Amino acid sequence: MEKRIYNFSAGPAILPEEVLKQAQEELFVLPGVGMSVLEISHRSKSFDKIIGEAKENLKKLLDIPDDYDMLFLQGGASLQFSMVPMNFMFPRFKADYIVTGSWSKKAVKEAKRVGIVNIAASTEEGNFKRIPKQDELKFDPDASYVHFTSNNTIYGTQWKTEPEVGSVPLICDASSDMLHKKIDIKKYAFIYAGAQKNMGPSGVTFIILRKDLLERCADSLPTMLNYKTHTEKDSLYNTPNVFGIYIINLISNWLLKNGGLDNMYKVNKEKANLLYNCIDESGGFFKGHADKDSRSLMNITFNLASEDLEKKLVEEATVAGFSGLKGHRSVGGLRASIYNAFPKKGVEDLVSFMINFQKKNG
Ligand X SMILES: Cc1ncc(COP(=O)(O)O)c(C=O)c1O
Catalytic residues: 103, 173, 197
Q: How far apart are CA 15 and CA 23, in angstroms?
A: 11
Query: Does 77 interact with ligand X (rule: CB under 6 A)?
Result: yes
Do you find a cis peptide bond into 91, omega within 30 degrees of 0?
A: yes
CB-based closest residue to ligand X: 76
317 — phi, psi (to 5°)?
A: -65, -40
Which span sits near ligand X by CB under 6 A: 41-49, 70-78, 109-117, 290-298? Answer: 70-78
Q: How far apart are CA 17 and CA 50, in angstroms?
A: 20
Radius of gyration, alpha carbons of the chain:
21
Please list every residue from 179 through 218 that binds ligand X, using CB under 6 A.
194
Give the residue, chosen from 8, 9, 11, 201, that forms a contact with ligand X under the rule CB under 6 A: 11
Going by C-beta distance under 8 Å and a sequence separation of 6 or more, which residues neighbour residue 64? 58, 70, 185, 208
* Closest C-alpha to 136, from 144, 126, 153: 126
How many residues contact ligand X, by CB under 6 A?
11
Do you find a cis peptide bond into 12, omega within 30 degrees of 0?
A: yes
Give the residue, chosen from 12, 76, 332, 362, that forms a contact with ligand X under the rule CB under 6 A: 76
Distances (CA, A) of 274 to 1, 268, 269, 331, 350: 30, 10, 9, 22, 10
Least CB distance from residue 284 to ligand X, whole Å?
29
Rank residues 77 and 250 by Cβ distance to ligand X and give the closer one.
Answer: 77
Angle between helices 242-257 and 17-26 (to 10 degrees): 130
Q: How far apart are CA 196 and CA 172, in angstroms?
A: 17
Rank residues 77 and 336 by Cβ distance to ligand X and give the closer one.
Answer: 77
Least CB distance from residue 176 to ligand X, whole Å?
4
Rank residues 40 and 338 by Cβ distance to ligand X and give the closer one.
Answer: 338
Give the residue, chosen from 103, 190, 342, 353, that forms a contact with ligand X under the rule CB under 6 A: 103
Least CB distance from residue 335 to ligand X, whole Å?
12
Q: Is 14 helix (H, G, I), strand (E, B) or coil?
A: coil
Rank residues 100 and 303 by Cβ distance to ligand X and give the closer one.
Answer: 100
* Closest C-alpha to 189, from 121, 95, 101: 95
Least CB distance from residue 149 to ligand X, whole Å?
5
Query: Does 310 interact with ligand X (rule: CB under 6 A)?
Result: no
Q: Annotate each residue in 133-152 with x if it binds ligand X (CB under 6 A) or - if it does not, as one string.
A: ----------------x---
Give the residue, chosen from 22, 46, 74, 78, that forms a contact with ligand X under the rule CB under 6 A: 78
Q: How far apart are CA 146 and CA 28, in angstroms?
A: 45
Q: Annotate each residue in 145-184 with x if it binds ligand X (CB under 6 A) or - if it does not, as one string.
A: ----x---x-------------------x-xx--------
Q: How far apart are CA 224 and CA 240, in angstroms?
A: 12
Rank residues 152 and 282 by Cβ distance to ligand X and give the closer one.
Answer: 152
Least CB distance from residue 28 to ligand X, whole Å?
29
Residues 73, 204: contact at Cβ < 8 Å?
Answer: yes
Q: Considering Cα of 127, then 130, then 136, then 140, what sign does the dihedral take?
A: positive
Least CB distance from residue 138 to ligand X, whole Å?
23
Least CB distance from residue 77 to ligand X, whole Å?
4
Rank residues 173 and 310 by Cβ distance to ligand X and give the closer one.
Answer: 173
* Closest C-alpha to 228, from 82, 87, 52: 87
| Binding site residues, ligand X, CB under 6 A | 11, 76-78, 103, 149, 153, 173, 175-176, 194
